[in-house]
Structure 1
Amino acid sequence: MLKRKWLLRKWPFNRTNDFQRFIILCDPRTGSTWLHTLLNSNPQILSYGEVLREKDNISALEPTIWRSHHSSIQAIGCKIFYEQLCESRFLHVFDELVSNKKIKVIDLSREDIRATFHSLKTAEKTGDWSGGKMNKEIEVPFEEKEFDLHVYKSNENRSKVLKALNQHELFSLSYEELVKDQTLQLNKLQRFLGLTPVSLFSLLQKQSK
């Protein structure tokens, strides 16, 4: 499915800029890669995943991911961390998102913040960010002050970004809601993007219990 969409991305015919633009806004380790792969299983959705990486120099999202695509693709987006939009080097992307109110925002969170932080520390320790190498639980001790600072910065970044995007259409979703009733939440999300819901799937493996 995804290979076909990547091929259609280069197809010179039947191209259009008339598609729904969206972003998945989140903190690291909140299930964003899982959601990204689920959305990509819909033949009408193309998610570019994480695009604001340190090694990349993106001038703007519009010419990078929102350039013309094959007309079969009806919704195109990517995932961006709240903390990235609060960095000075990505201020131009933040301004681009704020100025285009037609961009739909998927606000992905995780209710269990301790689990999020533990997952982050585990990934940093093992170097495994997708769960492909993990086969057992790993203990990662951390200080309460370190955790408290993480929570404070996370809340501050999320509040700043969502306040700036308060005129955009917003779909709030938690990792726990997605786990509890995947079909219901994904159907609602696909309708939010203006699409008729289809069954979605992901080959991604859970990193730990």
Structure 2
Amino acid sequence: MIASSYPKFLMCITPKPETFSRAECKRNPVQFFAIVSMQRSGSGWFETLLNSHVNVSSNGEIFSVKDRRNNISSIIQTLDKVYNLDWFSSASKNQCSAAVGFKWMLNQGLMEHHKEIAEYFNRKGVSAIFLFRRNLLRRMVSLLANSYDQYAKLLNGTHKSHVHTPEEADILSKYKPSINSTALITQLKDMEVITAKALEYFNSTRHIILYYEDLIVNRTKLKDVQEFLKLPQMVLSSRQIKIHKGPLSDHIKNWEDVNKTLAATAYESFLHADY
């Protein structure tokens, strides 16, 4: 028997459930979260890291299904199912769940209904984990390449947004998208505006702001996330492999045009950063 003086989160490290019901874990409060991000910003990789924690269940991009975000009523109904612990997926754990959530992209009804959703988050005690990319040019390359592969299906006729072997990453990275250099700066500014609006809309919600590049170079950021979710600290891991490695000049077909467009602008640093 664990002494009552133990911190509550330690009670969940080695649970011994008999029926795997929530009642057996009722002494441990569940933290609710939503990973708020944009496509091709590292959220898939980040979620696999979280799900490698024995006490975390993050249920994927549930609002990619349009029927679940048709209106605010369908959104609230879906949220209730997740946070009432009635959502079952491959991320569901037999162990005591200390944190439960999912991924939510900004273009999946979140911005259109931000007021009602922020009110729901605050009422239900849902914390937001904002995950963005600093290098928006790299995000654009990833978006275009992923969009191309949805039709080209370069991996033996199968489309994969994420890969687990260097060989698969090498095949996908061979495609070099062309970027509309005329519209490039406007598109980068639009991405920044969307990010700023999201942070403004959910400023009153308990949240943490993360950047993909920071997670890559500083794994102590993952400790910050676990602390934010009030989890027992664990080493987190993922099998996902980065697709576009090395300089961007290797991954953009019209590199000279892009380089000329962004040189001597606020976005020049995007040309040189590895992540």
Q: Which one of 42, 45, 48 corresponds to residue 53 of structure 2? A: 42
Letter in 2 for 1:64: K
Letter in 2 for 1:196: P
CA distance in 1, matches of 2:188, 2:110: 15
- Normalising by the residue count of structure 1, what TM-score does the alignment of the two structures yield? 0.82
Please report how far the alpha carbon of residue 190 of structure 1 lies from its aligned counterpart in structure 2 after TM superposition: 0.2
The question of whether the paired residues in 1 share the 8 Å contact of 2:118 and 2:201 is answered with no
Please report how far the alpha carbon of residue 153 of structure 1 lies from its aligned counterpart in structure 2 after TM superposition: 2.9
CA distance in 2, matches of 1:204, 1:144: 31
Corresponding residue for 1:64? 81
Please report how far the alpha carbon of residue 62 of structure 1 lies from its aligned counterpart in structure 2 after TM superposition: 3.1
CA distance in 2, matches of 1:13, 1:83: 33
Corresponding residue for 2:209? 172
Corresponding residue for 1:147? 184
Please report how far the alpha carbon of residue 33 of structure 1 lies from its aligned counterpart in structure 2 after TM superposition: 0.4
- How many residue pairs are counted as aligned between the two chains? 197
Identity of aligned residues (%): 22
| SS, match of residue 60 in structure 2 | strand
Corresponding residue for 2:105? 81
The question of whether the paired residues in 1 share the 8 Å contact of 2:22 and 2:96 is answered with no
Could you say which structure has the higher helix fraction? 2
Which stretch of structure 1 is more off in the superposition, 145-154 or 166-175?
145-154
After superposition, the C-alpha distances for 1:16-38 in whole angstroms (9 at most, x for unaligned) are 59411111111111110000000
The reply to whether residue 135 of structure 1 matches residue 159 of structure 2 is no
Corresponding residue for 2:197? 160
Which stretch of structure 1 is more off in the superposition, 136-145 or 114-123?
136-145
CA distance in 1, matches of 2:222, 2:132: 15
CA distance in 2, matches of 1:198, 1:152: 37
Which stretch of structure 1 is more off in the superposition, 38-47 or 128-137?
128-137
Letter in 2 for 1:104: S
Identify unmatched segments of 5+ residues in structure 1. 1-7
CA distance in 2, matches of 1:68, 1:85: 22
Letter in 1 for 2:80: P
CA distance in 2, matches of 1:140, 1:39: 31
**Higher-Rg member (1/2):** 2
Which stretch of structure 1 is more off in the superposition, 59-68 or 113-122?
59-68
Corresponding residue for 1:99? 120
| SS, match of residue 63 in structure 1 | helix
Identify unmatched segments of 5+ residues in structure 2. 1-16, 87-93, 151-159, 246-275
Could you say which structure has the higher strand fraction? 1
Letter in 1 for 2:194: N
| SS, match of residue 59 in structure 2 | strand
Letter in 2 for 1:24: I
